[in-house]
Amino acid sequence: MTERREVVRARGHENVSAEHASTFEVTSDDWLTPAGDCILAVEADRVPADFDEAFVEACRDEDATITAEVTVETDDGKTYEQTVTGRGHPDLTFENDRSHVGRTSDYVDDRTVLVGAEGAAADFDRELVAALADGASLTLTLTVE
């Protein structure tokens, strides 16, 4: 299968804590309360509903590997990178117009972009999380193969 890729740009927020044990999320919302402990970044420039149909179709294969590469860049030029790998699922719809959610479980809703993730928000490097809490920029690159 051909590798397909979607790129989303967002930014951190002072309330980023990344403490959730089973999900991670990037949202297009421009706000974040302390309760949103799975959220890594806000103001995403794209949402699942924007993704190319061929990408979405490829993600619906339960044998597909979906990789979420998170790159965080601070204003002073520091870069942090972390990769989380999961898999596709036949029920993925990519119809949500607000949020991208990676899940360690097999639960699927319209926000889900990958299941069976090898990690969640709580597993992200704490320096990367601190940079996001300081408002660093984030690039989420989703690749399916």
Give the SS3 label for residue 129.
Answer: helix
pLDDT tens digits for range 11-43: 999 999 999 999 999 999 999 999 999 999 999
CA–CA gap between residue 130 and residue 122 (Å, rounded): 12
Q: Let me know: does 40 contact 16? Beta carbons within 8 Å.
A: yes
Residue 2 in contact with residue 136, Cβ under 8 Å? no
Does pLDDT of 1 surpass 90?
A: no
Domain edges within the chain: 4-144
Please write down the HEC assignment for all residues of 101-118.
EEECCCCCCCCEEEECCC
- Reported as a single tens digit per residue, the pLDDT across 46-104 is 999 999 999 999 999 999 999 999 999 999 999 999 999 999 999 999 999 999 999 99
- CATH number for region 4-144: 2.60.120.630
Q: Is 84 helix (H, G, I), strand (E, B) or coil?
A: strand
pTM: predicted TM-score of the whole model, two decimal places:
0.97
pLDDT band, residue 3 (cuts 50/70/90): confident
